[in-house]
Amino acid sequence: MRHALLVCAKDLRQRLRDRTAILTAIGAPLALTALMGFALGGSSGSGSGMRLGIADLDHSALSFAFVAFVQRPSLGGKVKAEPIDSVEAAERLIREHHAECAVVMRAGFAKSIASGNPPPVEILAARGEQFAMLATRGLLRDFVNRAAVPHDRPAAELIPLSAGGQMRVVDFFAASMTVLFLNFGVLSGVRALQAEVDSRTIVRLVASPAEPYAIVAGKFAALLLLGLIQMGTMIAATSILFGTRWGNPLPTAALMFTSVLMAIGLTAFLMSIANNADQGTALAALVITLLSIVGGQFLPPQGLPDIFETLTRLTPNGQAFFGFIDLSAAGSHGNLLTVAQPLAFTATIGLSGIALAALRARSALQRIT
């Protein structure tokens, strides 16, 4: 135990002395959150909410219900709907900057949904309002999904709360940058571990009286602590600086824990299949970036074609990210069941990655001795 604590303390001292790593772990995500939030937020990202023109050319009960859907109380007044009567009116609204977005529901809207076909809908957006357009697409998709489910099942059980409808842009990026840079932060720790193998200080550690399990436990504890410190700092900082609400503390803490496990497992595995720390870092950075794109951490997948949302849920970082989004949206009602799937998914990926990396590290150690 004493040896494990010594190894852990030494690793923490090294990591906390690395200013670049701290900048990567805390400074960069905070700066990007602020930058992206304010740059892409527009009026939809501010406290005043998004102005949405709605042209109902279908005149059905369902198209009428869309207006009520976007103005439902749970959205907290984030969408200000303005009914209009034509495509021309929608265009004028956008052109004259009276709305960020406009939805035109053409005749046949309700019939198409009922028959399971894509409804005839157009979304118009002002220049520079990409995020508002994505949010509108997300709202529309949620509405269509809800309208398509059997009426005897409560819609809330089937449709996860999502970024498009209830979060501010800055909150979206607070969660996305926290998860994205968690991977990079943990990567710097894993890189140091690989560097210890490359420089063979690990040989001296193994030759010391410390038992191998104590060395492994110490190094793992240091990575875990660093990840938790990083996430905790990000959550505290975004709460204070941007007023981001992360949801119920208990499930949030649980998801933090499994997300750090996921980041350790993912980066450790990628590092273990590389020949050295530099190659491993390059490989891991590439994979993390690709996973972040697919995982919806740059753009919400609700605004993109369906395949993206499916892909998002297949990535470990996407699971973690949308777990935090769901918890934030659920507020005080969020619990462990709200994020049961992300918890299980990220923990499984993390533990599997750690196990595989440990196996490969063992053979690597034999090679260097």
Partner 1 sequence: MLSVRGLSKRFGERVAVDGVTFAIASAEIYGLLGPNGAGKTTSISMIAGILARDAGEITIDGISIDAGSSARAMIGIVPQSITLYLDLTARENLDFWGRMYDLRGAALRDAIDGALDAVGLTRRANDIVGTYSGGMQRRLNLACGILHQPKLVILDEPTVGVDPQSRSAIFDLVERLRDAGTAILYTTHYMEEAERLCARIGIIDSGRLIAEGTRAELVASLGQEARIEIGVGRGDSLERAEHIVSALEGVVSATVENSHLHVIADHGANRLPTMLSALLNAGTVTESVRVVEPNLEDVFLRMTGRALRD
- Interacting residues with partner 1 (CB under 8 A): 3, 6, 10, 13-14, 17-18, 199-201, 203-211, 366, 369
Q: Using N-to-C axis directions, what is the helix angle for 306-314 and 277-294, rounded to 10°?
A: 140
- Give, in order, the Cα–Cα distances in Å from 9 to each of 128, 211, 316: 48, 17, 29
Whichever of 153 and 367 has its CB closer to partner 1, that residue is 367
Nearer to partner 1, 6 or 107 (CB): 6
Minimum distance of partner 1 from residue 288's CB (angstroms): 24
262: tokens are: 């996921």
Residue 18 vs 82, nearer CB to partner 1:
18
Q: CB 219 → partner 1: shortest distance, Å? A: 13
- Distance between terminal CA atoms of the chain? 25
Residue type, 103: V
Q: How many Å apart are CA 298 and CA 307, to the nearest integer?
A: 16
Rounded Cα gap, residues 64 and 214, in angstroms: 65
8-state DSSP, 42: G
What token pair was written down for 220? Answer: 């793992």
CB 41 within 8 A of CB 169: yes
What 8-state DSSP symbol labels residue 151? T
Nearest-approach distance from CB 2 to partner 1, in angstroms: 8
Least distance CB 285 / partner 1 (angstroms) = 21
Token pair of 109 as six digits: 């809207």
Q: How far apart are CA 42 and CA 34, in angstroms?
A: 13
Q: Shortest gap between Cβ of 189 and partner 1 (angstroms)?
A: 13
Nearer residue to partner 1 within complex by CB, 85 or 211 = 211
Looking at the Cβ atoms of 133 and 365, the one nearer to partner 1 is 365
| Nearer CB in complex with partner 1: 180/226 | 226
Instruction: Provide, rounded to whole angstroms, the least separation between the CB of residue 223 and partner 1.
Output: 17
Report the nearest approach of partner 1 to the CB of residue 19 (Å). 11
Which is closer to partner 1, CB of 199 or CB of 275?
199
Report how far Cα 166 is from the mean position of its chain's Cα atoms: 15
CA 266 – CA 187 distance, rounded (Å): 9
Least separation in angstroms between CB 358 and partner 1: 17
Integer Cα distance of 187 and 223 in angstroms: 9
Per-residue burial over 211-227, b if 16 or more Cβ lie within 10 Å, else e, is eeebbebbbbbbbbbbb
State how far Cα 189 lies from the chain centre: 21
Smaller CB separation from partner 1, 8 or 186: 8
Question: Which of 128, 212 has the CB closer to partner 1?
Answer: 212
CB of 280 to partner 1, least distance (A): 18
Please say which residue, 190 or 254, places its beta carbon nearer to partner 1: 190
Please, what is the minimum distance in Å from the beta carbon of residue 229 to partner 1?
18
- Helices (H), ranges, 115-168: 130-148, 155-158, 163-166
Give the single-character DSSP code of 121: E
Retrieve residue 234's tokens. Answer: 């990000």
